[in-house]
Chain A
Amino acid sequence: MTGEIDRLHPEAAVLSGPRPKPRAPRGRGRVAVSWIVLIASVAYFLLPLLGTLIFSLRDRPWYQAYSDTLADAQLYRAFGFSLVIAVITVILSVVLLVPTAYWVRLRLPRLRPFVEFVTLLPFVIPPIVLVYGLLTTFNAPPLPLTTSDLGANVLLVCAYVVLSFPYMYRAIDTGLRVIDIRTLTEASQSLGAGWLTIMWRVILPNLRVAILSGAFLTLAIVVGEFTIANFLARPMFAVYLQLISGNLAYEPAAVALFSFAITWASMGVIALIGRGSGRRVEITGAH
């Protein structure tokens, strides 16, 4: 009888069949440990920020630090300057790295490990070493760039382009990996396109998402970078933050949170841009 019910009503097999085994205590324990680790990690990251927030609200009235910060014209000048430098850095990085990554993938695959190594050097060489090298090299003729604002800005941008290598190159290389650049290039050539047309009309548009991801990462890094900006005496946002922290109490906390918010907003934009882009890119046909 039980067997017949099982055959006619599969769901009944749940009632009539053997009871499912209870979850093993070891499995539950592992899940609990995972949650504990996650909560502890989030707390480790968020608690200092929470402390900073609480501290920034201690002024009287509680919003005073924020209103003073937002009323400071120097904040906007510093942030605006950082943004301009960041945008120029991103443009130069793209102009330099997109053709490089493209050519390495297309024609010089054996050079890839070497190029990747070079782009990872900024992780290894501290910014203080980089800026010291810039200062000693460009302090005197034939290229005394540190003696003028324009020259110092040029050095700053060049230094940031180098700092952006790991992020920009990785993002571009990942973007190139998703599209079949060899076949797209050959298809373009068979249709009569030269290299500039291929780059401008075929490759760059298909790297839009990758470039934007790298761009926002670069933006976050440039805005938050202090060492190089300080030694080149450039009015960047991080230098402004360091300046006010020496003179004021609560405003630096507010500005620090402000910079965190910018970074998270950049990450959020990267996540939004990256979502839903895979389908459109991955359509060069069966492989």
Chain B
Amino acid sequence: MSYLVLTGIQKRFPGGTVAVQDFNLEAARGEFVSFLGPSGCGKTTTLRMIAGFETPTEGRISIDGADITDRPPNQRNVGMVFQSYALFPNMTVADNIGFGLRVRRRPAEQIRKRTAELLALINLPDKGDRYPYQLSGGQQQRVALARALAFEPTVLLLDEPLSALDAKIRVALRHEIRSIQRQLGITTVYVTHDQEEALSLSDRVVVMSEGRMEQVGTPFEIYNFPTTPFVASFVGQLNIVPASIIDSGTGALTVAGQAVRVQRAFTGSSGRKVNIAIRPEMVSLGPGPDGSNRLTGTVSEVSFLGSIVRIRVRVGGDSGPLVSLDEFNEPTLVLPEVGATAQLSFPAQGPLVLDPNVEVGESVEELIAET
């Protein structure tokens, strides 16, 4: 049963800029949905329309069956966590958390009890009498989360809440956010440009670009079965390798004069130039199992990235395309020498053919069924 529903949402700003167009989403109760995309793609604008800070030019928004499109923001019962925390500097942590309850004129004892519960939930039980300036960035964001949850909102909205924090705190805090969200079972919409955040936190991800929804799916679907060139290139690393179609019916192409086969259906005439998109983790050094695609080239670069070693191979001759592959780092790993000949392999199911004139033939459901 859909809990948060956005239907035909469009936002056009004065001057003609269309920030969001044809946005449709149904989120179930308790679901965690992320809006992922580059800056300016419309994800924050969409979130702000749910919060009531922007009015849709077209379309309707409803929560639990009630149309809230025309309600002012202070009557939507939607909690929001801002990128800049937005804690009230003149109030203590406890007063910040209790603000929403005081506005709703709850009894003082109820406010006190609820505040104590939330301070415990965010692991800051002794910080109630501090002021925001006395807290670290991570602590401030936890207080902001507690404040947004205090009055038990119907939906929780988070607008890039971790982008101002350093990497380690970000990782720790996002697990905490997800844990709290699961515990409370609150429908959540999370806006981020960080794909690792979106993929690790979400039940579903909406990838957006230029105001449009590119793809909606689980993190697994988004990453492994991108349905548009934008999603393929935005989410995860991608090798873009120039190729030439031999026979689209059999999926045969050539890369730098070497034959490969792509299982994912595409259309295009023989000899047409296209690009093949392959994830680095799909490519392996060596001949691979039977049925794999194989390319021969020269090792161009070997980069040690900690847990990963990234190897770049120039396929074919000196002017051939570069293909990156990732190997997990381990003490027994034998790294190839730069300049050495290397053979690469990748499965036929892995690549995506990219070309404006070439369509991705199968739906996500069919691709999953095949795998």
Tell me the A residues contacting B by CB distance below 8 Å: 179-180, 183-184, 186-194, 197, 201-202, 205-206, 208, 279-287
CB pair B131 A186 closer than 8 Å: no
Give the distance in Å from the alpha carbon of A286 to the alpha carbon of B100 in the complex.
Answer: 23
CB pair A202 B84 closer than 8 Å: no
Chain A residue numbers with a CB within 8 Å of B131 are 280, 283
A192/B151 contact (C-beta < 8 A), A186-B86, A285-B84, A286-B137 known: yes
CB pair A280 B52 closer than 8 Å: no
Chain A residue numbers with a CB within 8 Å of B148 are 190-191
A-B contact sample (5 more), CB < 8 A, given A206-B88, A287-B164 = A188-B88, A192-B151, A202-B90, A282-B89, A282-B133
Give the distance in Å from the alpha carbon of A247 to the alpha carbon of B243 in the complex.
Answer: 104
CB pair A284 B85 closer than 8 Å: yes
A180/B87 contact (C-beta < 8 A), A190-B51, A283-B133, A285-B140 known: no
CB pair B133 A279 closer than 8 Å: yes
| CB nearest to B77 among chain A residues | A192
CB pair B80 A187 closer than 8 Å: yes
In whole Å, how far is B106's beta carbon from the nearest beta carbon of chain A? 11
CB pair A190 B88 closer than 8 Å: no
A-contacting residues, B138-175, CB 8 Å:
140-141, 144, 147-148, 151, 157, 164
7 example contacts (A-B, Cβ-Cβ < 8 A) are as follows: A190-B78, A202-B88, A202-B90, A283-B87, A283-B133, A284-B86, A284-B87
In whole Å, how far is B4's beta carbon from the nearest beta carbon of chain A? 16
CB pair B74 A189 closer than 8 Å: yes
Cβ-neighbour of A285 out of B90, B137, B157 (below 8 A): B137
A186/B82 contact (C-beta < 8 A), A191-B99, A283-B132 known: yes
Chain B residue numbers with a CB within 8 Å of A283 are 87, 89, 131-133, 140
Give the distance in Å from the alpha carbon of A180 to the alpha carbon of B83 in the complex.
Answer: 12
CB pair A190 B103 closer than 8 Å: no
CB pair B80 A186 closer than 8 Å: yes
**In the complex, the 10 A-B pairs of residues with the closest C-beta atoms, listed nearest first:** A285-B85, A286-B164, A283-B133, A187-B86, A191-B100, A205-B90, A285-B84, A190-B80, A189-B73, A183-B86
CB pair B53 A186 closer than 8 Å: yes
Give the distance in Å from the alpha carbon of A202 to the alpha carbon of B147 in the complex.
Answer: 15
Interface centre among A186, A190, A197, A202, by most B CB within 10 Å?
A: A190
- Say whether B185 faces chain A, with CB atoms less than 8 Å apart: no
| CB nearest to B72 among chain A residues | A189
What is the interface residue range for chain B against chain A? 35 or more
Chain A residue numbers with a CB within 8 Å of B85 are 284-286
In whole Å, how far is A109's beta carbon from the nearest beta carbon of chain B? 14
CB pair B151 A286 closer than 8 Å: no
Chain B residue numbers with a CB within 8 Å of A190 are 51, 73-74, 78-80, 148, 157
In whole Å, how far is B111's beta carbon from the nearest beta carbon of chain A? 13
A281/B89 contact (C-beta < 8 A), A186-B53, A193-B74 known: yes
Chain A residue numbers with a CB within 8 Å of B51 are 186, 190
Chain A residue numbers with a CB within 8 Å of B151 are 191-192
Give the distance in Å from the alpha carbon of A213 to the alpha carbon of B113 in the complex.
Answer: 39
Chain B residue numbers with a CB within 8 Å of A206 are 88-90
Give the distance in Å from the alpha carbon of A115 to the alpha carbon of B33 in the complex.
Answer: 44
CB pair A192 B89 closer than 8 Å: no
In whole Å, how far is B103's beta carbon from the nearest beta carbon of chain A? 4
Cβ-neighbour of B164 out of A192, A280, A282, A285 (below 8 A): A285
Give the distance in Å from the alpha carbon of A197 to the alpha carbon of B103 in the complex.
Answer: 8
CB pair B84 A280 closer than 8 Å: no
In whole Å, how far is A51's beta carbon from the nearest beta carbon of chain B? 47
Give the distance in Å from the alpha carbon of A182 to the alpha carbon of B80 in the complex.
Answer: 14
CB pair B90 A187 closer than 8 Å: no
Q: Mark B52-89, 1 if CB is under 8 A from A, else 0.
A: 11000000000000000000111101111011111111
Chain B residue numbers with a CB within 8 Å of A197 are 103
| CB nearest to A186 among chain B residues | B53
| CB nearest to A195 among chain B residues | B74
A-contacting residues, B298-316, CB 8 Å:
none
Chain B residue numbers with a CB within 8 Å of A184 are 86, 88
| CB nearest to B73 among chain A residues | A189
Chain A residue numbers with a CB within 8 Å of B73 are 186, 189-190
Chain A residue numbers with a CB within 8 Å of B133 are 279-280, 282-283
CB pair A179 B89 closer than 8 Å: yes
